[in-house]
Structure 1
Amino acid sequence: MDWHQLLDETSAEGGAARGLEVAGEAWSGKTRCLEELARCAADRGWAVARGRPGRLQESEPYGVFVDALDDLVATGWDTPGAGGPENPAHPEATPGPTPDERRRLAALFPSMADSSMADGPMADGSMGVGSTGVGFMPAGSAAGSAAGSAPAPGDGERPARDPYRECRAVRSLLVRLAGRRGLLLVLDDLHRADADSLDLLGYLLRRPPQAPVVIAVAHRPRQLGHQPMSALAEAVSRGVCRRIELEPGGEELLALLPAHLDEPTRRSLLRHSEGNAGVLLALAALHAEGGAGAVPPEPPPQVFSTALHDFQDLGPAGWAVIRAAAVLGDGFDLWMAAEVAQLDETAAREGIDEALAEDLVQPLGDGWDFAFRNPVVRAVAYHSVGRGRRSGAHARAAAALRARRGPIELRAQQLLHAVEVADDDVCALVEAAEQTALRDPAAAMRFSRHALRPTVGTGPLLHARAQAVLGRTLLCAGEYEESAALLQQLLAADSPLPPVARATVVDAYAQVQRLLGRYGAARDLLRTELSRPLPDGTAESAAEHRTARHLLQLTSTALTLESGGPWGPANQGALAQLAAQAPQQLRPAALAALAATEAQFGRIGAAEEHAERAAAAFDAMGDDSLALHLEPLHWLAGTELQLGRLREAEARLSRGVELARHLGQRHLSARLLVGLGLAQLRLGHFPEALSRADEAESLAHDTGSAPSLALATSLRREVDLLHGVPGDATAAPAAVVPLSELSNREHEISVLVSRGHTNQRIARELSLSPKTVETYLARVFRKLDVCSRAEVAALVGRAHGQEGAPRPEPVPSGGPAT
């Protein structure tokens, strides 16, 4: 809004007071708007009075107005000769309040009461407020003399309350304070104002003072009552007041965040802020402080003190409920919070009403479930009480959840802070770790570590389960060496894990070794595990062992796809049998592996058939199911890249990357990012592909995975080759060898290579043998002085681009092995 225009319109000749309403949620920038207006008004010589409701004013009528105006009244700003330019539109001094109004104002404003409660003689023989010229009347004026020489009846006594006459008196005061220069009255946090102040505002909006006065108010719509909202809306409709509604921001708010934050973190903070700039900055500060999952980090002092302002009107019951709720989590059940806070039903209802009135929490539906307004509010509530009292609250919460058979994960979060852990508590920690291993690896790591503390007693099986979860979550977190050591120890101990659980450990250990480039160690372990004979037992036991065997076969297939190990018809037959016989939860992965191997060996028709079946299965999955299949999703997308289904692959990999980020599965993120980068590269989205390469490289460096780093570096080189990055050592030379040097057949094969066709597919399309295609490609490499298919694609693309022909799609690299 143009503040100068608002002030000009108000100070125009014959103009009346105007209102400005700034509405927005907590921390959305309302105060900043008012400060900008105040600076503008002060620069123009206006008087600026600022007020905000506070606890000290609660028992006083018109508290926010008194807070704003009392200092200005005391300084005698409007006496003749005071600073500031004159307003030619209001050249004459405005008559001050009547004697009755002065007595009423003296009863309201401490600065007037300090001088005299009335205009009668004071102890030193001088006259009271009216004769000094302080605030209302110039000394020696006719009105002042009359007031000083003829006191009204009842001078010296506090008049009886009369809201109408009091409102008229304040209106006269505003006219006098505005004088010839102008007055900006700023009332922040109007939603906290007392009832008398709200009534006075309504009166001033209905009967604006005939003076250059701007009354600017800011409030949170959810906390302002219906009556003041109605008064403001009516004033806006009559043109007496303007309204500014601060809407949530969009991606432009990302510019407010520190540059060192990575993109996933920036997006997560923006999503949790719900477009509120103040909340976004507070969340960023909170993020910088770290934290331990369910326990929010302690906010920095500035954030803490700012947010604590929202708690100032809570009573004892409100504080008790809000602190107990902060122990329970971002969302909570009122009666659980009451049990933790040790409140009876009446006090709990009173407390939640206070928290709702202050907009600290919001209801979730029609029941008794609530959630904090944002994570910052919860963090302030949590850290507003000492560590000892919090520990007791956590213990009561854990006991309540045990008695109510509440969610295992919530109970485990409370047990992390328990001084003593019972046997059934250890079981709860391990079960919670197993349940959260894929969707929240960080939480699972905390639960399993807590269960494995030396002071906690566990049986052999429970101990092995905790070790297994910890090893898998360390893998997800990118702590590969620690994960490998723990999983190797667990496997060597021949722990009493059930077959499927042991196969899961073997799968995790093989993944770690692959990520560290130790393919031989992974291959040896899988060979040993697959050579174990299936034991005799019940049908149920046999089914479990078969499921474990199927999982190990898929793990072996993944190793072969990545490392390029031996693979023959027998392997392919076994994989086809696995796809047909595997249990439902493993079948999509088996189909994706089958499609990938068929494509890698040039059987395009079979690859397309299996890829379509696998795609249908993956497309039908929700995020919870897909979280279990992110690596097979990568195999399928790699096959789609080989088959030229670029947009399908890009969409699939985009979903995989976002899910891996959200779930904290760092061990899969680099490969998914490289796959997505390849798809974007082949679609011609060079900046996006380069960004994916940067992110994958950074992740590979952080986790110490040489194979992941090699994949990311390869993607970067392909981007540089195809996009021609100046100055890069791997970029294609500026002088492109003319394709006219190639024979017609060599040129034809080069174009097909640039479109991503494998040798087998080229052979099929041109009715040649794969061996003949290889011979032609060797000649192409020699004539063009290149050594890779990517370079062929780059040169073909440049040549076709110069000739004005459509640029062919770049060549795939590595197929599903990426």
Structure 2
Amino acid sequence: MTTITPDGRAAAYPLRGRDEETGLIDQELREVAGGTARMVLVEADAGMGKSAFARRIRERAQAAGFAAGASAAAENDRDTPLATLGPALRSATPTALLTVDDLTALLPLVEQPLWFVEQLASLIRRHVPDQPLLMSLDDFHWADPLTVFALRILPARLADLPLLWVLSARPGAGGPAEAVGAAADARLPVRRMRLGPLDDDAVLAIARDRRGGRTDGTTAARMSEARGVPFLAVHLAEGLLPGGAEASRPGGLPPGLIEGVHRRMAPASARGRSLMHVGAVLGTSFTLTDAARVLDIPVTGLGSPLDEAVSTGLLIDDGDQLRFTHDLIRRAVYERLTPSIRRDMHRTAADHLLRGAGGAVRAAPHVLAAAGPGDTHAVRILRDAAFALLDTMAVTSATIIRQAYDLAGDDAALRTAVGRDVLEIMLRARKRAEAETFADALLKDTEDPGTAAEVRLLLAPELWGAGRLEALRRLARDEPGATPRLRRRLAAYRFLTGQDQPPDGDDPVARAVVAVAEAERAERSGAYARALAGYTRALHLGEEHGREPGSLPPGVLRLRSLSLRAVLGEGQEVLTGLTSGPDGALPADSWSAARHALVRAQIQFRAGLLEDAGASAVRCLALAEELDDQVVTPQARQVLAALAALRGDAARAREHIDALPEGRSRTAAAALLADTLDLPGAPAGLLRAATQAAAPWRDELLVRAACSAHRAGDVPSVREAAERLEELLRLNPGAPGLEGAAALAHGLLTGDLGRARRVLAGARRPLLGALADEEWARTALPTARDEAVGALRQALSVYTGAQALQPAARVRGALASAGVRRAGRGQGRTRPVSGWDALTPAERKVAWLVAQGHTNRATARELFVSPSTVATHLRSVFAKLGVDSRVRLTRLVLALPGAAPQGGGSP
């Protein structure tokens, strides 16, 4: 605990009454020193000593050999990206975790916060010291939105580091600290601590500290008035609070404090008191220049008043800014002002700040404090502030524009105009649920057909992208009084949902929506080439009209196009193209990252890269959680369920299936599991699932149905699957994967699988090729045993190489029936749990590249995965090899004979 002496210096005193909490912190520090990342959330009402306890944590950590970085948020941090976390990273000792050059490099990514955090994690890793680390962020209830977003992700990204995160905040349901803790819970231990009132002994100890060890019965009686609140105890002991003052309720301003602060200010001159009054209006910290402008006097005229203010012990001059010793002190000064004077000072402050750097953004809090309903000038300033912050602080922008809307009062035209802004900004800030609720209210409130049409068109692309066609159908009704252009766009959306005919005219937004409607119809019918042309046309139309009401999200269109290109035979090219974003395997738009990961997973699954597909699907789920984009979750779980089934892990497959909602993803995943378990009725289930399956899965389900039915002697099902695959090929001529699948099903009917094997040899579908080899071998065993056994061995090699254990077991059974003993056992053996042989192929590649000196980012580029995936593999490598650093890993790998991947120094 500290207090402020009259000369402005901090006088240190022992922290009293927190021994139990300190013991818990020491336990956390020991766990982190042992290599376990952890988080502590400290919650306390104002005046409970939260900041003093944060200082104690920092002292204990440094005494235990920790490096440490610390910062405290301020009220105005919400307007500056990374204002809370940045100072802690830059001030970390002994090594700064973020340099000025690093920060400069990060700034262009502010509009893409996920990539900002990915890059930030890499920078922290680059500078992290060779010792455990504490990151302490105080007053986190004031944290800026980018810091909150970063802290929802960084602890998981850095979970392999010996790092203790400590966030201190005032209580509040759904506050920033609570959001960060909830996100961290799944990846690292989180301890939540609540600082309650001190006991009587601790309160008396505070009195003895400040009174030179002298206390008596009168002192004890007076100190009991603090009710265990450290702030009150300190100021009762130091005489700031008068005797007989009542204790405050938790979080409230202590009664008696206002009078105590007033008495402390009384000896100062009128100008000295005015300086403190203006400072209380400007905020917990402020500059002397701003205070001088509000007082309308030169800065030089505040020299003596500043000395007086500092001498009261209420204000501190740290050289760059002035600040109150505690926010409760500032609030006490502020409350002493009459409402009319406060409002006038806020108006003056707003006028001054509008003329300086930051303009409307810095003025906004003062505008809000001074404005009343119907203040059109205030609304204009707040709108300017909201749009100024939109590209870098969208969450703050959404808050400000909503406040502007509330100030619009009964002015219908103003409310309508600002209401449209609210909706646009909420959608840009990804506050989709709030935007939908607000749009419903706005549509009920407005009588202007044009505004109603624009509101509907702003929300329509979001509903389409989320797959909520029923809600879109209700939203897209006509507005007869709107302009023809807007009505055509609404009509196009009705066509998209199957209600109306396509509109006429040449409006590019309407034409793009119509193109997508036609593409979706083509995709559902299996005409993937025609669907691809439709999505491509919509993308071209949207390039020049991407911000107009009704414009479809280009990221979703682009990913749908990529998915179809992969189905049509461009899988490898698409995978290569997906690595063109910043940081290798990352898209340019971070908000589409989860969908991007899903497309990678689906393409990798088709290409037989099962381990990579699993990593991409897991990353998709993690990104969907971080970005609150749950649209892709069912499809990612479908991939994981299919992978688990192929690996023979029926229990894990069922876990994923049970987590799926009713729909086509659940139907397809269940059918694939039934097939791998060789359940009765599996072919019929696969055929039913293929009817509603999305493009990446339809041919997979049909060819599996054909093979399963063939093994069961179900000729009609084989014929149906073959006919449907032939129809797919007819609609998409020249697609090698579809041609191979159709040839395989047709060959099962005719007994001639030679063409299927030839086509699939060049189709980049190794698992499908192995299936063709397997089915051909089963029919050829009686007449060409040696060649058939060779084909079965080849299929087994492909299956085991891809870790497709269930079909591998099926082929071993076929080989055993043919009299081949212990076929492929070496390839199919159970992998050990530790040592080099315990590493998967992907882990070996990562280990080798890291041993060659590659960073995580360079390794990611080399392997066409994300840095996060590399970090996940690296943690597994460390655990399996029993090493705890990259240096030790390098020594071990370079000493291992045969550790290098085949083909030289790079996999």
TM category (shorter chain) comes to 0.3 to 0.5
Under a length normalisation based on structure 2, what TM-score does the superposition of the two structures give? 0.38
Structure number with larger C-alpha Rg = 1
Higher RCO (CA 8 Å, separation ≥ 6 residues) = 1
